Amino acid sequence: MKLRRIRGHHVRIDTLNRESIIVDAGAHRGEFSVILHQITGCRYHYLKRLCDIGLSAGLLVICSSLIVILAGLIWLRSGRPIFYSQTRVGRGGKQFTLYKLRTMTSREGEESEDIYTRKDDPRIIPVGKILRKLRLDDLPQLWHVFRGDMSLIGPRAEWIKCAERYEKQIPFYHFRHLVKPGITGWAQVNYPYGESDQDAIEKLKFDLYYIRRYSLKLDAMIALKTIHRLNVKGCWLMGGADARGFAVRSRTATEGHRLFVNCYWLLVLTAMLHSD
């Protein structure tokens, strides 16, 4: 059992195993505010914001042509709208409107009780399957990172309707809002896409693990795991992920991808220098 003292408050976080993380910090908003203030006041919080601004700006410039091409494909194959917007919950419970490239038909199901997108959901348009597989539909979220609504790395930004439901059903769920939501995160690289309330509970365990170990070193690990997963998915789409084919296709990565990799290798080296 470990105790972390935060401005006069003890927050006990027991890591029993990888599948079970229990947070005993009190469910009331007073302690939530104290911990939120502590996180936003740490030095790494400012370093991470600087990295978010620099990397998101660079990636927006590099990926701008790709976004235009993908938007054109969506318009040609499925018509308008090209972008999909939804109210999401950010750090401290602050709401913002998130934009993504549209990968589904009109979401009439938003008014139904089923709040999940299922595997092979019939609402997914043909081009949307590839976009979702490679996470290309998330490219517009780089703008939210640049603005400060999100970070490159953090818990998934949940739809307001999902967040309200989970906060009523899952203890300590609101603690995942202690940090900014991210395009990728510890839960995203370690757990498949959630399709049930039980999946939400399992992913919350990873989110709480991330918040407990909020650091440059962990963010660098997540970035590298994300790049690896995208490489594997890209090779699978291009005709198989065998070792020889993977090596050949990896050598043909785009300049933008290599820049992204190099930036995060720099983060890894910096993390090693600053690790305990």
The CA distance from 202 to 190, in Å, is: 10
The CA distance from 81 to 89, in Å, is: 23
Percent of the chain exceeding pLDDT 70 equals 64
**Residue 142 confidence (pLDDT) above 50:** yes
Whole-number pLDDT of residue 194: 73
The CA distance from 147 to 149, in Å, is: 6
In order of 7, 81, 114, 259, 265, the CA distances from 54 in angstroms are 32, 30, 38, 12, 15
The CA distance from 231 to 225, in Å, is: 10
Whole-number pLDDT of residue 146: 97
The CA distance from 251 to 236, in Å, is: 16
Q: Residue with structure tokens 């939400």?
A: 200
Cβ-contact 104, 84 below 8 angstroms:
yes
Could you give the angle at the alpha carbon of 90 between the alpha carbons of 88 and 95, nearest 5°? 55
pTM (2 d.p.): 0.70
For residues 242-262, average pLDDT:
47
Cβ-contact 70, 101 below 8 angstroms:
yes
Whole-number pLDDT of residue 67: 93
**Residue 18 confidence (pLDDT) above 60:** no
Amino acid at 153: I
For residues 244-264, average pLDDT:
47
For residues 123-131, average pLDDT:
85
Q: Which residues of 125-143 are buried (b: 16+ CB within 10 A; e: fewer)?
A: bebbeebbeebbbbbbbbb
Whole-number pLDDT of residue 61: 95
Q: What is the mean pLDDT of the chain?
A: 75
Cβ-contact 141, 87 below 8 angstroms:
no
Whole-number pLDDT of residue 198: 87
**Residue 249 confidence (pLDDT) above 80:** no
Whole-number pLDDT of residue 95: 95
For residues 139-151, average pLDDT:
96
Confidence of residue 245 (pLDDT cuts 50, 70, 90): very low
